Amino acid sequence: MVLRPGFFLLFNLLGVLAWPTQFPERTTPSELLDPYPHKPRITFKDDGTLKITVFSDLHFGENPWDVWGPQQDSNSTRVMKRVLKDENPDYAVLNGDLITGENTFRENATRLIDEIVAPLNAARVPFSSAHGNHDNQVNITHAEEIAREQQVAPLSYTRFSAPGVGGEGGAGNYWVPIYKRKSDNAPYLIIWFFDSRGGVTPQNKPAADWVDASVADWIESETKLMDEVWGPGEQRSALAFVHIPPHVMQPVQKTITPEKNPGLNADVLGTGSAQSTSSTSPPAQDTPFWDSANKNIKNIVAFISGHDHGNEWCAREPTKDFVFCFDKHSGYGGYGDSSWGYGVRNIVFHAPGNGKGKPKVESWIRLEEGQTRAHVWLDHTLGH
């Protein structure tokens, strides 16, 4: 996807925060399904491929009062710049814990977003963000990060949840349409972003660490509208990002093997490692969301999560037969072990030559220095 310099000039002249007041309200079904009328359409390349590069758990802003913290941010920026240059993705995803919010100061917390998106702006790569538990803290919230990102990143496709959707602290539930060709009437792929919340409230109270039940009804209504306007959901593929993994992945971890599920497996999914498993959470509160997502979103290639820095495997959840993958810990901030390395997850879609039918999708881990590992195809062969 080629982006003309004029788009960036227009963005700078208008200011993205002013845009909503300059255009009429969108109310028809077709208008509601075009959430980015003033941004470039995201499309597959002419060769039928789409590469998505996922940065996860960057953890900017740790220990800003000493030398160590800013050096971690500098290292993480280096990772982003090198990966973006080498991989040249068509789209990028920041999959949560952009900031270590508990180390931030109220007066400048959102300025860290400027640092995080700078490499993406420079490379002119369109992207979206999901948010994590460390992004909801006393001095920063998901909503504040989204607002800042929209202000400083012209190619951010991150949006706010619809009114009444997401629960307290869950400001980022939305989807992005990806088209096979710019002129197509309907998208070929929908990328969904779900807000698993977590962390603490601005009042320093524990926040719910699961996707709110209100998202379940929203998924149903959104997919119904998509079906009415674009045709049956079976005609589209989907990919989903959520920072904290679903609780149903805890027992699955016990069944994986290095041969069938390659990739680092260094974090045991215990208390707090998955949705609705912290000591203050009632169990399985993410069930309405997961039931709705698997029922209503057709052709989901995979759910992708971060959060657990020592994991980078993919596996098939047997009860609903969906594929789940961990990201790769990208940032030098946050907990970890130097032997784990830092990097990204790449996901590449290969659409059929005629543009019809399901794409083939491959994924692998790419490390900072360029090494790759844990290559898998996200299809029926996974785990076999």
Structure tokens at 237: 């593929």
Cα separation, 348 vs 362, whole angstroms: 5
Q: pTM here?
A: 0.93
Q: What's residue 108's pLDDT?
A: 81
Q: What's residue 25's pLDDT?
A: 63
Q: What's residue 13's pLDDT?
A: 40
> Which parts of the chain register pLDDT below 70?
1-26, 355
Q: How many CB atoms are closer than 10 A to CB 4?
A: 10
Q: What's residue 384's pLDDT?
A: 75
Q: What's residue 279's pLDDT?
A: 80
Q: What's residue 76's pLDDT?
A: 98
Q: What's residue 353's pLDDT?
A: 80
Structure tokens at 128: 């979206």
Q: What's residue 19's pLDDT?
A: 34
Cα separation, 69 vs 57, whole angstroms: 15
Residue-wise DSSP of 128-173: EEE--GGGSBTTB-HHHHHHHHHHH-TTB---PPPTT-S-TT----
Exposed, middle or buried by CB within 10 Å (0-12, 13-18, 19+), for 153?
A: buried
- Strand positions, DSSP E, 142-274: 174-179, 189-194, 237-242
pLDDT digits (tens, 9 = 90+) for 322-339: 999 999 999 999 999 999
Q: What's residue 22's pLDDT?
A: 42
Q: What's residue 126's pLDDT?
A: 98
Q: What's residue 30's pLDDT?
A: 85
pLDDT digits (tens, 9 = 90+) for 89-127: 999 999 999 999 999 988 888 999 999 999 999 999 999
Per DSSP, helices labelled H in 45-203 are: 68-87, 111-123, 142-152
Domains, the chain, with CATH or none:
5-377 (3.60.21.10)
Q: What's residue 106's pLDDT?
A: 86
